[in-house]
Structure 1
């Protein structure tokens, strides 16, 4: 049974903790409202076409995003089963579709201890960019030795996911924003607008959903804050999981 949400401070940042019982908890870090540039810079040699145009996005409200990817133990505490291939209670849950993530969220919300959801693309990217997860040299190339301190990627992951929180966190104390598993977002996939946006949530309809962050399976070029990837809502992979947002 989940207990009440608790508030505390982590390095002068507000966090909230959702206790799951038996020593399990999901912690959320407050991300401040503000304006940032979403997408890739024109000179990024790794950027894909769908990462343009670089455009201003304003998020008008603070939000709380998971400090870690949802673990297998946390998923099993809510759902009663573990779908993952790389079994370990502290590894991120994987082999979950976007639809599976929605069922998990509905069950979590039904407990009446808060309102939880997937992050929008904009919320995810703002949190990642504020965290400083960009490791590029003067020519825009990713610096692998720096990146490996913060994320699990193909050449050093030993072909599997790893327990969350084993790498360094970014500036906002968020772990594994880069690598380990891709993280589903709430948005339908679509092209970026050519003008500034306020609280964007993506297209109203679509066929495929976005996920972010790269994974243990990907090379460093995929582990960039602006990188976008997408899949149908019913597919499952050993390198796709989720990170939650809690409504303030």
Structure 2
């Protein structure tokens, strides 16, 4: 497919399969799909979407609050098998395997929210294990929603939200079908589990989509109410209509190896706070 060539223009949108030469852009939000097969030669970027790039893991961009920078990764749309096979060690009966299609891509924070970022937005640090680059913990689902609501008042074009449970597992697996994104087994050099405290974000290897500590460290809140899976194919699931608790995913520093698996499902009441529970956010279009 030949690329369209655009030269020397001031633009507020990007089109895929296009080569831009000497253009200036003012962009508040861009879907990663719009950047497929694009080239930029001597171009400049302003607006919210100015700190971005491509690397070995794919597309990334960064958003900043009071000089605290958070990188988010573009997660492409796709289809995967959610849940675990009956032969997987440590599985529970509610991890029913079923095919899920995510029809839209999304930006997902490459790390759990740090204490530094939480403090910049909310003014206080509730974390037990202090450290700017440690994940914030001891935050309820409601606390995390308040964090995003406050930041969203200042974001143009995009909106922070919890990932759905399906989005979370899709991103955690990063194309794998094994118990963890690193394989059927894990080591302490890959995952912080069955220890006595959190570690700094990015201190352990990322998965093949550039996401850090999806397994262990802190278990992460999702948007969904906890409910049973079906075994039929589904597209863009958002969980139960209501329930006793919100889904938590990924296991934590205190978890056994079976609780940090990609398919592991937990839940808790949205008002509860624990020193092993944190979150990471999505950035979605406001459209």
Fold-level similarity (TM above 0.5): yes
Residue 209 of structure 2 corresponds to 172
For the aligned residues, what is the CA RMSD? 1.5
Write the distance in 2 (CA, Å) between the matches of 1:11 and 1:58: 25
Q: Conserved in 2, the CA contact under 8 Å of 1:131 and 1:174?
A: no
Name which of 171, 176, 181 aligns with 2:218.
181
Write the distance in 2 (CA, Å) between the matches of 1:143 and 1:203: 31
SS state at 1:115 partner: strand
Structure 1 residue 150 displacement after superposition: 2.2
Write the distance in 1 (CA, Å) between the matches of 2:231 and 2:205: 35
- Following superposition of structure 1 onto structure 2, how do residues 1-248 of structure 1 map, counting pairs within 5 Å? 4-5=48-49, 6-11=51-56, 13-22=58-67, 24-52=68-96, 54-113=97-156, 114-130=158-174, 132=176, 133-135=180-182, 142-145=184-187, 148-154=188-194, 157=195, 159-248=196-285
Unaligned 5+ segments in structure 1 are 137-141
Q: 1:162 to 1:220 in 2, by over 3 A?
A: same
CA shift digits 1:78-120 (9 cap, x unpaired):
0111111111110000000011111011011111243010000
Structure 1 residue 134 displacement after superposition: 3.7
Write the distance in 2 (CA, Å) between the matches of 1:74 and 1:8: 22
Structure 1 residue 194 displacement after superposition: 2.5
Write the distance in 1 (CA, Å) between the matches of 2:227 and 2:72: 28
Q: Conserved in 1, the CA contact under 8 Å of 2:115 and 2:136?
A: yes
CA shift digits 1:52-91 (9 cap, x unpaired):
1x00000001111110110000001001111111111100
Write the distance in 1 (CA, Å) between the matches of 2:276 and 2:235: 31
Unaligned 5+ segments in structure 2 are 1-46
| Between structures 1 and 2, the one with greater helix share | 1
Q: Based on CA coordinates, which of the two structures has the bigger radius of gyration?
A: 2
Q: Conserved in 2, the CA contact under 8 Å of 1:69 and 1:243?
A: yes
Q: 1:187 to 1:177 in 2, by over 3 A?
A: same
Q: 1:238 to 1:131 in 2, by over 3 A?
A: farther
Q: 1:197 to 1:65 in 2, by over 3 A?
A: same
Q: 1:175 to 1:12 in 2, by over 3 A?
A: closer
**Which aligned runs of 4 or more in structure 1 are off by greater than 3 angstroms?**
131-136
SS state at 1:247 partner: strand
Report the count of equivalent residues. Answer: 234
Structure 1 residue 181 displacement after superposition: 0.1
Q: Conserved in 2, the CA contact under 8 Å of 1:131 and 1:173?
A: no
